């Protein structure tokens, strides 16, 4: 049964009064309110360039330098001007370093996550993915696509160490092309879709409890993200 939605204020009340509904995601203890289910999608069009959604933060796994810069930037989609969340600067480009932008203002154990991603640049790595059941910057699950390596994978990250759970190769996505990742999680079972094709399945119990949700890239992978959605069952 789909739970009630958590409404997360993306702008201060004085700034257009906009709120974004992440449908079904469980509020943390300090969340202010809930409402009936809505769109279940987080877009960035009403945010000003340079901002982050309220309650989200830049973070890193295994950092060896400054955090990557995540911010809303102006973009264009099908000839229409829009805003996206993008990584615009990465000083720490070490291979074992993962760039995160996530929130514990919504918490998910089981349910569905999705996002649209575009790999903009990257010589060590490209693309990005979704993270869920995030305990902290060193413990979470991950589904990511890398156009540079032509693969799509599921992982868990525990104490900063990334362990592969499932792998699909031969992925024909180029840098500069938008693609969509969707993940469905139920208990120990997880499935992942790339552009509406289910390519990955895995069973794992490393991180059993509900946690935060967010976005991910590795090393020098500078990417753009849009239409983030979260729904629990």
- pLDDT tens digits, one per residue of 101-137: 999 988 999 999 999 999 999 999 999 999 999 999 9
How far apart, in whole angstroms, are the C-alpha atoms of residue 139 and residue 82?
Answer: 33
Q: Which domain holds residue 89?
A: 5-232
Answer yes or no: are the C-beta atoms of 23 and 40 closer than 8 Å: yes
Contacts 24+ apart (CB under 8 A), 167-171: 167/200, 168/194, 168/199, 168/200, 171/145, 171/147
pTM of the full structure? 0.85
pLDDT band at 188; cut points 50, 70, 90: very high
How far apart, in whole angstroms, are the C-alpha atoms of residue 54 and residue 73?
Answer: 16
114: domain CATH number is: 2.60.120.560
Q: Is the pLDDT of residue 12 over 50?
A: no
Mean pLDDT in the chain? 84
Count: domains in the chain:
1
């Amino acid at each position: 049964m789909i739970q009630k939605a958590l409404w997360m204020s993306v702008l201060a009340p004085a700034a257009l009064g906009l709120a974004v509904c992440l449908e079904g995601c469980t509020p943390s203890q300090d969340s202010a309110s809930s409402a009936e289910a809505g769109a279940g999608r987080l877009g960035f069009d009403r945010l000003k360039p340079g901002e982050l959604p309220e309650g989200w933060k830049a973070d890193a796994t295994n950092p060896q330098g400054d955090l990557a810069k995540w911010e809303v930037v102006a973009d264009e989609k099908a000839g229409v001007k829009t805003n996206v969340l993008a990584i615009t600067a990465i000083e720490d480009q070490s291979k074992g370093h993962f760039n995160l932008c996530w929130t514990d203002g919504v918490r998910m154990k089981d349910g569905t996550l999705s996002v649209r991603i575009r790999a903009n640049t990257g010589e060590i790595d490209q693309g990005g993915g979704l993270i869920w059941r995030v305990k902290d910057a060193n413990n979470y699950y991950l589904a990511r696509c890398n156009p540079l390596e032509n693969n799509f994978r599921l992982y868990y990250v525990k104490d900063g160490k990334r362990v592969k759970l499932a792998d699909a190769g031969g992925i024909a996505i180029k840098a500069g092309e938008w693609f969509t990742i969707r993940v469905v999680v139920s208990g120990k079972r997880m499935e992942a879709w790339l552009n509406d094709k289910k390519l990955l399945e895995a069973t794992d119990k490393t991180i059993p409890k509900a946690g935060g949700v967010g976005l991910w890239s590795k090393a020098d992978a500078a990417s753009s993200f849009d239409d983030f959605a979260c729904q629990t069952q």
